Chains A and B, each alone.
Chain A
Amino acid sequence: MEKDGRPNWDSPMQFVLACVSYAVGLGNVWRFPYLCQLHGGGGFLIPYLIMLLLEGLPLFYMELAIGQKMRLGSIGAWTSISPYLGGLGLASVVTSLYLCLYYNVINAWSFWYLFHSFQSVLPWGVCPINSNRTGPTEECEVATPTQYFFYRETLNISSSIEEHGGIHTGQALCLVLAWAITYLFIVRGVKSTGKVVYFTATFPYLVLFIYLIRGVTLYGAINGLKYMFTPKMAELANPRAWINAATQIFFSLGLGFGSLIAFASYNQYNNNFQNQAIVVSLINSGTSIFASIVTFAIYGFKATLNYEDCLDRMRILLLNTFDLAEDAISMDSVLEWIEKLNTTYPEQFAQIADKVREGECNLEKELDTAVEGTGLAFIVYSEAIKNMPLPQLWSVLYFFMLLLLGIGSMLGNITAIITPLRDFKIMSRFLAGLVCVFCLLLGLGFTTTSGNYWFTIFNDYAATFSLLFIVLIEVIAVSYIYGIKRFEKDIEDMLGHRPNWYWKIMWAVTSPLLLIGLFIFYIISYIQGGTPTYQAWNKELGESVVTEYPVFGQVFIVLLLVSSVSCVPLTALYAFCRKRKERAYENTKIS
């Protein structure tokens, strides 16, 4: 305990692990591989690493410095920097609250899948049988079993955001469990969080390593790896690649939520956070690259499997139509046979020509299906897992890893809410429990039949734009309002040496410019994008259909954005009015 009674991490290692656990989250596993694939494989690493140096590292360092110096949560810390900037902290808290609301739903899904892995046949591997017992249910036949399990059994999704329905009890139970575990890990503050992060930060790496070995030894994994590592340098000319790299670094490090400030506020005053900042950022990026190797090995396996299944279906079709002997066509010669039979028996071939064309087998096309987000984690990966030998083991390992990544990030998000509120000393004993119960009750809304569409709204809009705004104001505030000179002196006070020219240039010039650029780009793409759309699951077609948001959906999106962003000007206005009142009061007192 320090003199001011603030709890501390037991050791600097706990702090580092807490930051790693927070920063290394689901985005490293399901967003980075997608971006890599989208922007030319190995070549994407170049903009990624450059952006890490230009904005990731400096901003991470800055947030840690603020937290460690002010020893308060985000609201208190920014109020100390300037009384007009308290709104920044408040905006961070609001954004963290939105994140907490929907993020634990992902953990609930991970729990659901984890619990369903303890069966002899994985439920997403086979279709359930229809009532006549003549075949699989229609929805499952049109889609794949993994999609059916996710959309129907896990989410029980409705066909659009307007259609409401009841709560999915299984999901609700898993959500309660997710919040119970979160509460368990934060109930004693940094003392409990500090012990838990030893596990949540390190175990995912063990699983990733096991999966790496399993992944590269899978049949066909080499196709995926080759696809990833052949850089398509032409993509570097595309500005989208650089923008996506910047955004990915930004969100991956978890800047602007106030979690880093909160974690750092529990540090010893002289903790050497400079090295820690570098270490954590590098670990975060390294994990992204590591995870994408694993993901691409698994992509390669799945794509090769689908390709060979496709070839086999073609083979059977040819054998049945032309009544050839069983071993006349082998897997390798299917395509030649198609050519041969087309020329020798054109009329017969014409009958099945449609089926052949639509079932066109193409390995590149299979590898090209880039998926991100929940689709990757819960559909693509589970499909790959069900084909591995001993699928239950791999399934348990994988979803447990997802859980740990998710819970690790949740700890940071919840701490970001609780720490500033605790600083105000209101109901500090029950605060953790109250926040958890509140978020749980609101989160139950995401377990209804249209819940996944609301989840998508939160996922796409709650934290993206507001964070950019927050961090932009942060870096401008520190560089110009607080002043680089004062900031330098504070750091010297804590570390014993001043930050060198690299950090100062980044804070004062490069990062603000980059962030302004990103900000403008986001505004332009929002305006140009027209009506925002979402993917609605259509159960007759067995696939997702692009649908526009209804009016209330769009209004809600605007509310989400405005509610967090407006905290900054509103609080500044409030502080301004209070100061004016105080000055007026003092003037009346003097006179």
Chain B
Amino acid sequence: MRNQEGSSVKEEFLRKWIRGLRRYSCEKKNMSFLERKKAIKLSADLAMASTRDKTIRWSQALIANAASENVCIGSSSAPKKSSRKKKMMLMRRSRARVKSVKKEMSSARCIAKRLMEKRTRKLKNLLPGGESMEDGCLVEETLDYIQSLRDQIEVMRSLLTASQLIINPS
């Protein structure tokens, strides 16, 4: 699907990302480590999302979330993350418990159905804006998302190694 435009997507992503980062550095000097990390990640995510069409849902959802949250780079994200993780763990545990109770009582088909529901729910949680998607859409979006993430990671990694090598030439 996106194979032909691979390198151009990466270039576009890099350009937008650098542009975003420059804006950050202009606005705020002397950011802390975490702030920098957040800024880098956010601008990378947004840049990647902006390279995708309007028809791709996860990118629009990502941009919309970023815009609505009005992400403050200064605020710490760590507690938010850990609470989210705890919540997910709890939900997982409760679902496992429910499943084990019901297992004997239901037929194989119900079990399979429940397994699938569990996983699609998980996938929906992973994907930005995924909760409102249904099966077919979800699979397509996941495809696109995985490809975008890979491109993003490649570019980020190359930039990282390049800057590392530049900064530490010896």
A-B complex is real? no
Q: Contact residues of B with A, CB < 8 Å?
A: none
